[in-house]
Structures are given as structure tokens and as C-alpha cells.
């Protein structure tokens, strides 16, 4: 199964190869999820993935997407990030995927408008090193979004102060 307009996506090819190498089955639902994730530059919630996967593989069930995501997460093919108190967002974590930045990245979320911004992992490395040295705590920079107010919302909200 490939992209609707023809050629298979490189990230899907790589992920499928990894699935086979690990002895995991390559199913329509898993391919659909991979194709969706490889086709976007932003981060998608499980529900958004369900909607987009259904467009290219009708009948794929919500629960199946959750299970596929869990499997792919265990294989380190996809990563998820907890944002605020709402739905987790998912993205490919395979090197070479269409949406992969150069190296891991952390996330910032605006508590006002909800936008999720990417942050190079390098920004968190000094902190990660301190935490590991002082507390033995091994930080996973991409696993939870940092919350705050983005520039646009801060400007709007300030008004006079």
C-alpha cells in the first residue's frame, strides 16, 4: 500500500522494513498509520490519525490505531508527547522519515491557544546533564511538552501590561 498519488513514502518503507526485521506483522492498519505519520510535518493526536487513516484505509478502527501506535512506540518507530491535560500527540521517530528533524526535539505548548512548537533538544541538554549529575534522573526531553504562553498570545493578552 502506498501514497494515494503513487510512490510509497520513504518513512513507511523504512518502518515496514523494521517491522519485518523484528518479526512483526505488516498489516493494512499499521501501514495506514505509518503513511499518515510520514505525510505530515506537525504532530497528530490519535484521533486525527484515525480520521486520516480512515481516508486511505476505510474501516480502520480507533482501537486498532491505538494498538498500532502502542506497538510502533515499543519498536521506537513512533514517539508520543503528552501535552497539557489533553490528547497525546504522535510523530515518527525514525531517522530519515519525511517529517524528521535533525535529531530529537522537545515541545513547547501554549496554554492559551494550544499551539505546539518544536524546540531543538540541544536547548534541554544542559538541564538534562544537571539532572543526571545531581539526581541521577534521566530526562526524556521529548516525552512531555513544556507549558507556557507563546509570543503571539502574550502580545495579545498584554494589551496594557
Partner DNA sequence: CTGCTTGCAAAGTGTTTGCAGGCCC
Partner DNA sequence: GGGCCTGCAAACACTTTGCAAGCAG
Q: For binding to a copy of itself (CB under 8 A), which residues are involved?
A: 82, 84-85, 88, 108-111, 117, 119, 123-124, 126-127, 130-131, 135-140, 143-151, 154-155
In the complex, the smallest distance separating the C-beta of residue 65 from DNA, rounded to whole angstroms, is 7
d(CA 75, CA 159): 48
Cβ-contact 28, 60 below 8 angstroms: yes
**Identified binder of DNA from the candidate list 8, 13, 18, 24, rule CB under 7 A:** 24
Closest CA to 13 of 94, 101, 100, 103: 94
Check binding of 85 to DNA (CB under 7 A): yes
- The helix (run of H) or strand (run of E) holding residue 88 is none
* Selected binder of DNA within 12, 14, 37, 60 (CB under 7 A): 60
29 makes contact with DNA (CB under 7 A): yes
Among 68, 78, 106, 145, which residue interacts with DNA (rule: CB under 7 A)? Answer: 68
CB of 45 to a copy of itself, least distance (A): 12
Strand partners, 5: none
DSSP 5-38: TSSPPHHHHHHHHHHHHTT----HHHHHHHHHHH
Q: Tell me which residues touch DNA (CB under 7 A).
A: 19-20, 24-30, 45-47, 59-64, 66-68, 70-71, 85-88
Amino acid at each position: 500500500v502506498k501514497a494515494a498519488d503513487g510512490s510509497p513514502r520513504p518513512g513507511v518503507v523504512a518502518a515496514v522494513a523494521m517491522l519485518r526485521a523484528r518479526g512483526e506483522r505488516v498489516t493494512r492498519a499499521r501501514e495506514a498509520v505509518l503513511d499518515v505519520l510520514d505525510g505530515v510535518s506537525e504532530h497528530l493526536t490519535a484521533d486525527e490519525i484515525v480520521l486520516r487513516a480512515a481516508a486511505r484505509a476505510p474501516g480502520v478502527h480507533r482501537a486498532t490505531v491505538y494498538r498500532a501506535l502502542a506497538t510502533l512506540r515499543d519498536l521506537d518507530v513512533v514517539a508520543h508527547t503528552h501535552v497539557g491535560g489533553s490528547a497525546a500527540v504522535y510523530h515518527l521517530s525514525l531517522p530519515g522519515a519525511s517529517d524528521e528533524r535533525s535529531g530529537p526535539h522537545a515541545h513547547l505548548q501554549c496554554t492559551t491557544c494550544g499551539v505546539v512548537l518544536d524546540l531543538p533538544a540541544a536547548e534541554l541538554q544542559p538541564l538534562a546533564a544537571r539532572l543526571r549529575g545531581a539526581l541521577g534522573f534521566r530526562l526524556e526531553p521529548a516525552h512531555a511538552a513544556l507549558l507556557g504562553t507563546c509570543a503571539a498570545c502574550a502580545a495579545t493578552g498584554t494589551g496594557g501590561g
